[in-house]
Amino acid sequence: MTSGSTQAHAPTPTIPGELKVIHDATCTFCGCVCDDIELTVKDNHIIEAKRACALGKSWFLNHSVEDRPSCTIDGNPASLEQGYDRAAQILTTGKYPICYGLSDSPCEAQRVAVSIVDWINGTIDTTTSVCHGPSGMAFQGVGEVTCSLGEVANRGDMILFWGSNPAESHPRHFTKYSLMPKGMFLPNGRKDRTCVIVDVRRTKSAKAADIFIQIKPKKDFEALWTLRALAKGIELDPDLVHRETGVEFSVWSDLMDRMKACKFGVIFFGMGLTMTRGKHVNSEALLALTRDMNAHTRFVAKPNRGHGNVTGADNVVSWRTGYPFGVNHARGYPRFNPGEYTTSDTLANREADCAMMIACDPMANFSQPAREHLATIPYIALDTKETPTTRSAAVAFAVATYGINTGGTVYRMDDVPIPLRPAFASPHPSDYDVLTAIELRVKKILGIT
Amino acid sequence: MTSPDYTKISQGIVYDPRNGIDGEIRDIWILDGRVVDAPADPSVRASKTIDASGLVVMPGGIDMHCHIAGPKVNVARKMRPEEKRRGEQMPRTNITHSGSMGSVPSTFATGYKYAALGYTTAFDAAIPPIAARHAHEEFEDTPCIDKGFYVLMGNNHYVMQSLMNNEPHKLKAFIAWLLTSTKGFAPKLVNPGGVEVWKSKQAGNVSGLDTKVDHFGVTPRQIICGVAQAAAELALPHPVHIHCNNLGMPGNWETTLETMRALNGYRGHITHIQFHSYGGGNGDENTFNSKVIPLVEYVNSHPNITVDVGQVLFGETTSMTGDGPLGYFLSKVYGGKWFSSDTEMESGCGITPIKYRNKSLVHALQWAIGLEWYLLVKDPWQVVMSTDHPNGGSFLAYPQIIRFLMDKTYRRDVLKTCPPAILERSTLWEIDREYTLNEIAIITRAGPARILGLNNKGHLGVGADADITIYTPHENKEVMFEMPRVVIKSGRVLVEQGEIRETLIGKTLHVQPNYDLDVETDIQEWFEKYYSISWRNYPVDLSYLYESCVIPTRRGS
């Protein structure tokens, strides 16, 4: 069985000195995955990125193909073939191989990564485990009432952001999807919407809000349960609510009145909720509140996902294993246990004895025990740039950048799959190429037909 | 010159209803993945001979209504870890990937399990067009079977707008454009109009065929009739696949009958009809009863209508539907976790865990009503086996359903475990009919192939795809059908006695009917006004299909 046989679309050739325009290109910088970008390319440089936000412009315009070897072994330049052989040898020798990252890689490559992990009885995990993993767990507890971003644009007349700062993290969120668009049932755009922002600090997004509610740090859960109680008509002690949440009771009851009165409410939530005290219990409270609100009006919730294709990673890992992240195959079949099979844990617990890191940088952002352990085990790293993780890798591959040099598919934060239109070719192989080559060798070593 | 590489299935007891073969001993010759005539030269030998003497040979099974791919199915996989850890495990082997089971198996597990059951083709019944790419990606990871999907369009804004403006030519072009853009197989209506109302207000829904849909001013009846007519004019292989309004509600049989009438004589397929055959009033469960008889009388006298059953089996499963308001209703009934998702311009979705209990009168009646449908439709070519996997139960329950149909004693034994009130509210106890093997071959392969317009499937005549299942006869038909002796797909032996021997990825079946290309300008204008993705990034190109197979229209184009 071959896996992920769909070939990524190759970019059209660039003629030296001539301008090439790519219409409807897709920006993979954040979870908004805007697919209306017009790129102008000259001599393997993007010189214009129309409609892209500040982050998108920086993503496209600063992109250059790094002049470094496509493969290094123990820091020394090596041929790709040598790299593939060594990678396969590392992955098949280990007793507890792990694979992590994936959220800045197209689905086609993610599928091959999951295949490799299956063949080597390894553990697969994605960056979801350190961002919206708690939301995934909360989802397994209560479910989720949600919608696609076009529904928000066409119907959302009350938009809440909770622990999320899209003005800085998702700059086109307001203009393309959530606040400014003139939608089918909101002909006046922003004027037809109420925007509420709940956060522990006055973020740059707060300026966009009609109502900004600053709650006490680490009190998201209490604030959400205050709203749940109000939604159900349960009497509360106003002083206690004020003390616990740091916000006057009247503010919450006014908010609930508005929530009940709107036609289609939307709550976008971010890591300010999922990665603070309470974690998945916070997400669960928010998802439950959203569900409760459907007894009064239509209400939906949506995590504001960060990485360009983290949603694709959730989907690919789920359809192949049945679980979204943190999946262990040591027994030959998938098992799921966040906190045990998630990468920060397999490293910090010193269980993993080899690794493959794809489009992620744990050496820069994991806990010290995790980093220390990673430094002691042989691992493979695939990244477009040189990072602390690639620098300490046994085998490092410099790969082409998805959406700029290679095609494929990414899933927007609302699970809408979008194709990529690459701008120009890279001398480096794609994630898909590297992983496919490694998979072939792994299968050969293991005698898999 | 080397002689052609024939495979011969020798001396099996062949059931091939489309070609009028009812349990006759025959040889079947296979070459290049198709059934061929026996070579004229008697000295030509097959390179591989499968001795099927004493064994039953049928075309591969076709599941024409299941949920196996796409966003809704994948959400259900993510949502239900609790039922996987304790259930059957699917370890990897040297030729197969690992997977997980539960009520919503992972992609590889789905493909292997279908093949091991003797099914070689399956259609996912509800894909939102904007997520078509996702369904195709999963299909490529769903091995061993050919697949296709139906495209949700019963609440599509352009469909309703064309009907509101009385522009049938636009509707027709849109349906063809949407099927072509998504590489889909057939138009699917799910609670036509009702999902749009759900999106616009609390607990919103339509109440019957003549409720006007807010904003668009059209009725479910207009949507059903309009799409059926357009599909007929496009000569689609499978014209329209209908999940009626009011699914699951006591008294909904009248809506179902009205839906059949609304087809105005055009061909139409009413799916999981078990869920739409209930008597009783005003949402009152105490009055719940079977109304199969009046509905079946209509089907028996209207050959334009076909149905699949959506059989309920006792046990735990996951309810998943494009019917958003139904998902809300079920989540309130069962009180468990609930997923709902509204998709812009197109559709909705509802998912919730569910458990059917034989001690519950309502559940037992649902079970009995499903069996009544199989047993009361006179012409087996009009009724198809389905569980609406995983809604009524898993596709893995098909062998058990076959036993219910072929063994009235077994059926009655199970009926005896249900609440006695069931005897007054359904006619199942009184039905003596037992299916023959030939009739089973009709409702599981030949019939669905004909209803779907698949000329190369569901039979074993010359030119047919060599998708063939060989069973060991057994007195207990559940035993006979749950583990085929040999399963052949595209001429290759994939399974022997439950063991996967070889895998392949399989074809994607889709349609590309001709349409008035001028209408695309109008569609584009509408699209760019309201969608959140770019027009050019919407259609799915052929690179997403591992092996494309275009099924011609009924005009042959």
- What digits encode the pLDDT tens for the residues A295-306? 999 999 999 998
Spell out which residues of chain A touch residue B92, defining contact as CB-CB under 8 Å: 118-119, 121, 329, 332-333
Examine residue A1 and state whether it is found in any structural domain, yes or no. Answer: no
pLDDT of B85: 85
Residue B337, chain A, CB below 8 Å: the answer is yes
Contact B92 A329 (CB under 8 A): yes
Residue of A297, A299, A321 to mutate, interface with B, max B Cβ within 10 Å: A321
Three state DSSP letters for A128-174? HHHCCHHHHHHHHHHEEEEECHHHHHHHCCEEEEECCCHHHHCCCHH
- Digit-coded pLDDT (tens) for B190-223: 999 999 999 999 999 999 999 999 999 999 999 9
A377 and A268 in a single domain? The answer is: no
Residue A295's domain comprises: 133-303
A323 and A204 in a single domain? The answer is: no
Look at chain A and report how many structural domains it folds into. Answer: 2
Examine residue B542 and state whether it is found in any structural domain, yes or no. Answer: no
Residue B339's domain comprises: 59-454+465-500
User: In the listed set A287, A303, A319, which residue is the last one of a domain according to the structure?
Assistant: A303
Examine residue A16 and state whether it is found in any structural domain, yes or no. Answer: no
- Digit-coded pLDDT (tens) for B236-273: 999 999 999 999 999 999 999 999 999 999 999 999 99
Residue B112, chain A, CB below 8 Å: the answer is no
Examine residue B256 and state whether it is found in any structural domain, yes or no. Answer: yes
- Let me know: does A155 contact A186? Beta carbons within 8 Å: yes
pLDDT of B2: 65
Examine residue A11 and state whether it is found in any structural domain, yes or no. Answer: no
Nearest Cα residue in chain A from B109: A320
- Give the model's confidence band at B322: pLDDT under 50 very low, under 70 low, under 90 confident, else very high: very high
Residue of B73, B533, B535 to mutate, interface with A, max A Cβ within 10 Å: B533
The fraction of chain B above a pLDDT of 70, given in percent, is 99
First to last CA, chain B: 37
Is A3's pLDDT higher than 50? no
Examine residue B360 and state whether it is found in any structural domain, yes or no. Answer: yes
Examine residue A29 and state whether it is found in any structural domain, yes or no. Answer: no
Q: Which of B82, B131, B339 sits opposite A417 (nearest CB)?
A: B131
Is A49's pLDDT higher than 60? yes
Mean local confidence (pLDDT), A72-85: 98
A279 and A186 in a single domain? The answer is: yes
- Let me know: does A428 contact A396? Beta carbons within 8 Å: no
- Give the model's confidence band at B284: pLDDT under 50 very low, under 70 low, under 90 confident, else very high: low
A77 and A139 in a single domain? The answer is: no
Residue B298, chain A, CB below 8 Å: the answer is no
What contacts B324, CB < 8 A, 6 or more positions away? B195, B198, B199, B340, B341, B342, B348, B349, B350
User: In the listed set A269, A303, A337, which residue is the last one of a domain according to the structure?
Assistant: A303
Contact B533 A418 (CB under 8 A): yes
Q: Cα(B361)–Cα(B341) distance, rounded to whole angstroms?
A: 31
A298 and A223 in a single domain? The answer is: yes
Contact A118 B97 (CB under 8 A): yes
Spell out which residues of chain B touch residue A412, defining contact as CB-CB under 8 Å: 533
A112 and A233 in a single domain? The answer is: no
A149 and A272 in a single domain? The answer is: yes
CA distances, A234 to each of A237, A372, A406 (Å): 10, 50, 55
Q: Cα(B190)–Cα(B168) distance, rounded to whole angstroms?
A: 20
A198 and A215 in a single domain? The answer is: yes
| Separation in Å, CA of A368 to nearest CA in chain B | 31
- Digit-coded pLDDT (tens) for A131-151: 888 888 999 999 999 999 999
Q: What is the CATH number of the domain that holds A190?
A: 3.40.228.10
Report angle CA A225, A229, A232 to the nearest 5 degrees: 140
Spell out which residues of chain B touch residue A329, defining contact as CB-CB under 8 Å: 92, 98
Spell out which residues of chain A touch residue B80, defining contact as CB-CB under 8 Å: 140
Residue for token pair 């349609």: B511
Which residues numbered 43-102 in B keep a CB inside 8 Å of some CB on A? 69, 71, 73-74, 77-82, 84-85, 89-92, 94-102
Residue of A1, A157, A178, A341 to mutate, interface with B, max B Cβ within 10 Å: A1
Q: Which of B95, B201, B537 sits opposite A24 (nearest CB)?
A: B537
Contact A115 B97 (CB under 8 A): yes
pLDDT of B265: 96
pLDDT of A5: 41
Is B363's pLDDT higher than 70? yes
Spell out which residues of chain A touch residue B532, defining contact as CB-CB under 8 Å: 148-150, 153, 176-177, 416
pLDDT of B557: 58
SS3 content of chain B, % helix, strand, coil (to 5): 35, 20, 40
| Separation in Å, CA of A142 to nearest CA in chain B | 4
Examine residue A34 and state whether it is found in any structural domain, yes or no. Answer: no
When the pLDDT of each residue in chain A is averaged and rounded to a whole number, the result is 95
**pTM, 2 dp:** 0.97
Mean local confidence (pLDDT), A331-345: 97
Spell out which residues of chain B touch residue A35, defining contact as CB-CB under 8 Å: 533-534, 537
User: In the listed set A275, A303, A331, which residue is the last one of a domain according to the structure?
Assistant: A303
- Out of A65-69, A300-304, B368-372, least confident range: A65-69
